[in-house]
Structure 1
Amino acid sequence: MILKAKIYNLKSQSGQSLIEAIIAMSIIFFGILGVYGLAARAVSLNRVVADRYIAIYIASEGVELVKNMIDANILERRPWNDGLFSGAYEVEYRDQDLRLSQGRTLLFDENNGTYNYISGKETTFQRTIKIEVLGNGNELKVNSQVNWLSRGGDYSVDLEDHFFNWR
């Protein structure tokens, strides 16, 4: 009995399409994963940028409140720097009285969209107004510094302005 061996001619490309499919799916998967990671990072940075914008607004409000005190002194015919002494203070728009800084965080009042120390939702923003009397009392240096915590990092904005007795 003679056995005849059958010779099978295997296609050299069988199974190649499976490998190609796996590679293509891997490329698509990692591409989508990269886009997702980029989008998540962009959203995170958006929060940091938004908080910085708010902090700059709060800091500029602090300088403006001191300017309003100077203007009120002039209108009421008092010395221009009456009640403004060197030190670190807290101030808010409602009463505009300087209080020694206690390191309190500002509260956000959602009803009127303002920041204050009395009522509202707690924030991470802390504002300190530093006043320094320079020279012979004819110049005030005002620094409005806002510190806050956002996305695990400590951030700070410091605005400075100088006011002079020019009258």
Structure 2
Amino acid sequence: MFNNHRQKGFTLVEAMVSLVILTTALGPMLYLANSAVNSAYIIRDNMIASGLAQEGVEVVRAIRDANWLNGQTFDTGLIDGFYRLEWNSTSLLALSSNPPLKLDNGLYNYSFGTITPFSRTVTIAKINAGELRVTSAVSWTLRGGSIKTIQTESHLFNWK
């Protein structure tokens, strides 16, 4: 006579096989999710740095335009050198140690807010009597410790 008992539950071998299958299936998905999150951070930082670099050029352009409005030469106060500036600067600040920018209510500055990884350097070079080359470079440290820099350049002319 046969004893016909149905097995209830998993044996140890079945449990181990299930665990291997589950791990094999979830591992790549978790890796992809982690890669997507890291890519999102990299893209976000690149976009912020690009905006800050462009802002550096635009602030120098605004100073040039203000010079014209005030009846001054286009390059008044725009001397060859390395500078830092804020979004509302009306003049250039000496570079000195170039501290990181701070974020306060969506605006980047050097005075108030949360310290960010971004530092901006604006370089002005006089090409000739009627032309300035303005270069704005934003640098920050990536998660791995390497430093990345985004740079934009514009030429300002005395066209007025």
TM range (shorter): 0.7 to 0.9
> Secondary structure at the residue paired with 1:53?
helix
Asked if the contact 2:83/2:93 (under 8 Å) is kept, the reply is: yes
Match of 1:116 in 2: 109
Q: State the distance in 2 between where 1:127 and 1:35 align.
A: 38
* Identity across matched positions, percent: 36
Match of 1:45 in 2: 39
Instruction: Name stretches of at least 5 consecutive residues in structure 2 with no aligned partner.
Output: 1-11
1:68 partner amino acid: A
The alignment status of 1:95 with 2:89, answered yes or no, reads: yes
Q: How many residues align?
A: 148
Q: State the distance in 2 between where 1:94 and 1:24 align.
A: 61
Q: State the distance in 2 between where 1:83 and 1:95 align.
A: 12
Instruction: Name stretches of at least 5 consecutive residues in structure 1 with no aligned partner.
Output: 1-17
Match of 1:128 in 2: 121
Asked if the contact 1:44/1:151 (under 8 Å) is kept, the reply is: no
Match of 1:146 in 2: 138
Deviation of 1:154 after TM superposition, in Å, equals 1.4
Asked if the contact 1:48/1:151 (under 8 Å) is kept, the reply is: no
Q: State the distance in 2 between where 1:27 and 1:154 align.
A: 40
Note the alpha carbon deviations across 1:64-105, whole angstroms, 9 max, x for none: 000000110111111011110110001112333201212211
Match of 2:9 in 1: none
Tell me the TM-score normalized by structure 1.
0.81
Q: Which runs of 4+ in 1 moved over 6 A?
A: 18-21
Match of 2:20 in 1: 26
If you compute each CA radius of gyration, which structure gives the higher value, 1 or 2? 1
2:25 partner amino acid: G
Tell me the TM-score normalized by structure 2.
0.85
